Each structure stands twice: as C-alpha cells, then as structure tokens.
Structure 1
Amino acid sequence: MRLAKYLSHCGVCSRRQASRLIDAAEVRVNGHPANHIDHVTDDDHITVNGTQITGPAPKKLYLYHKPVGIDCKLRADDPSSLIHHLPPGVRVYPIGRLDKDSRGLLLLTNDGELCNRLIHPDHHQEKEYRVVVDRPFDPQFCARMSAGVPVDGVMTQACQVKPLTQDTFTIVLRQGMNRQIRKMARYCGYRVIDLYRIRIANLILDPDALPSGQYQPISFTELVLEEKKKEYRPTNILGGKSSIG
C-alpha cells in the first residue's frame, strides 16, 4: 500500500496531510527518509516525528461542539489548540476546520478515507451555517452572496442563502475556502460578528444534546454522505454528553 494511504488507514491523518508530512521529511520507513512512492505493510518500521506507527487503529468518529477561541490547528505548544480538547485514547483529528473566531459543529475522526471523502472538492458535501453580520443587510445582499462573489481571486460557487432576520442569515456551502463566508460578506460590505456551523452533510448540531465545548461519539452509519445530484433529508443528532472541560 502506498505510504500516504497507509498512514491514513492507521488514523495518523488524511492522505493529503500525510503527503505534507512526507514532503517535510517527518516520516521515516525502516530508518530511511520516506518518499511518496514507498509501498509499505504492517511489517515495516514506520515513524512520524519519531513516533512509531503500530498499524491501523480502531476507527472512531465524534461530534464536537466547538466554542469560539479554539484553534483547529493541532499544535501542542498553543494553549488554544484543539489538541488539548480531543477525546482520550485513539488519536483523532478534525475533518476540515472552523476558524478560531467561529463556533459550531466539527467532526473528529481517525479515519483518513472518511476525511478525504468529506473535504475533497469532488465530493461536494453540504455544510450549513447561521451567520450574524454587523448591520441590517439590504434586499440585494442574499442574492449577491448566493450568486457568487470573488474571494482571493476565485469566484465562489453559487450557494443557498436565506435571510432569518435583518442581520442574520443561513448559508449552505459545498466549498471549503479559507474564511470563505467572512470574505464573501466583506466583499458585499458587511462584517461577520458571529459564525455558527449548524450542519455537516446530514448531521445537525443540537446544542441541547451537545452543549458548547463537549463531544459525543457517533457510529459511522449515522453519517450519510450525499452522492452527486442526490437529495437527502437532514437528521438531528441526539445522545449522551461527554465533557472535555
């Protein structure tokens, strides 16, 4: 099996992240610096940043209600990093990110294949957000946002935007550009003051069942990924609470 795919199967990270680790010379195979064409098995001695990889770990999936102030970059030397708030036991990492100033639903897993399916642009999974801006928007605002605006030199894809109040709307995206919603709103003359992700694919965040700063394990069958041009019905997530402090 190709090295990046093997690391993904072992729950180290996604294949894309594994490729970056290989490029950064942080992976060694049988004592030698790894390269992308390496094929490995469970019998090979593989290390990442000096830590030996012992083979595929049991696959885990969690919902996490991210509060504002948590950084999704996994940096042990950063007190605000998500790495200090992960479930114990099997190492997991976030599927995609919410920026530090945003809150809401985040998925945590050690399944690199699932991570790739959710974040790769070819798969187009929906993500829904509730957004508050700094002042009432005019009638043309939602139309401009939904039609697409230039962000970092790229025109955003058409999306669904629905007003809730004079300064609050929901937006459904299939893209994952850096700080996309904030930049879209800024282009239209508004500043986002609250960004709350409420849905990923068919999973809807229920803050009564999963309060801010807590996580809960779910089964992989509870996540239903949308096929292209196929409709599906969102489902609420209920269940127990596991505090992470």
Structure 2
Amino acid sequence: MNLRDFPLTLFPVGSFQAWPAAQKIGGGAALAGPAQTVDWSAGGWWVGEIGGVELWTPDHFRVWRAMLMHHASGGQLVMPFIDDPQRPMDDPALGPTTSRFNDGTSFSDGSAFAFARISFELAEPAREGDTTAIIRRLVGRPLLGGEYWSFDHPEARHRVYCIEALDDEDASGRREVQFGVPLRTDLDSGAFADFERPRLTMEVAGDPQSYWPNVKPAFEAEVGFRFIESFDYL
C-alpha cells in the first residue's frame, strides 16, 4: 500500500471532526412497540473533515498540491486524529524516559533519546470484526473511556477505534474494552495500541475543486477536505 502521512506539522489544522458513519434502515411500523432498524454498514466506518488550513508560502502550496496528486494517482493518505488534550496522559511522577546509544553513550551535551510515555498493547489475540478486546497498560494513566486509539494492521495499515466502555483494570494492568468501529483484521497478542498518535488510512472525498487551492490576494488560500476511511486493501 502506497502511503503518505498528512503533514500536520506543516499544515496546522483550524478545525477537525471525525465520526463513525453507518446506514440504518427502518423496518416499517410494528404491530406493537417501536419499529425495528437494521444496520447495513457492518458496524460503520470513519468519516471526517478538516478545515482552516492556511497556505501562504510556496512550500505550503507545493506540498499541498503534491499530496493531492499522490491521492489522485491512487496513493493513500494517513490522517492523524487531532485529539491531543483528550488522549490518555502520561504519569509525570515516573520521570523522563530516555534511551542511550548501544554502547551506553549519549549526545555530546549529555542528552539522550526520549520516547513515548503512553504505552498499551493487546493482552490477548483479537479477531477481525471484534468489538471487544483485552488490553494491557504498560505505561501511562488508566483509561476512562471515549479515547481514540489505532493499530498499524499488517495489511489494512493504520485504523482508528474509539472506546465505548471498559471493565475494571486488574493488578497486571489488563482490562477488557468495548470499542467501535469493528476491528479491521486479526491481531496477535502484544500488538501495539497507539493512544498517543491515533491515525487513519483514508481517502479524500468530494469534488476536487473544493479542496484544490483557490488562491486570493496576496497569494494565500484556505483549504480543507472531507475524508473517508479507505478499504483499498480488501
């Protein structure tokens, strides 16, 4: 799969919204009680919108156009879910987590590599279509529910999920979580659950004229687009 990350550091996004789309069909009037509905979406898929992306330098325009051409030629884009203030926070009481080079040395100024302080994994294998899983907290504060997370699947690549409910965490950091949308592929125990940078493999949706830059004086543009979860791996 030919992937390219959305360059969030170059394009600060003015607005971000994502939601699970689903199609529910009414079953008509019932003889007694409310009418029944059927979900034809197999649990739904992600749809979202970004807006307020300002282009004002030559590099902004070039990178934006190159990204859209990558998509137009069949490439896939990976969209970060912008949710930093709501993600599970690390525990500052644990102190900084750093790593040195293999020989034990650090950089000339004494600093070392720093890595993520939020770490969760699958505690048991999970199967395609599951909406519950057993996860283990390795580092970070306990989950509360409503958090976005993602897996980098072997074939489907980056897929986002959102926690609906969870049971009590045991002494080893394990707990069962209920989530949506359904899991896209089988995953083995130990698979890394990314709560720090949840990302979705997606496609740009809509009329291309709506997301190609409309340049106005003084050579600036404000852009954005709607995106949908990509299923090209199927």
TM range (shorter): under 0.3
Q: Provide the TM-score with structure 2 as the length reference.
A: 0.24
Structure (1/2) with the larger helix percentage: 1
The structure number with the bigger radius of gyration is 2
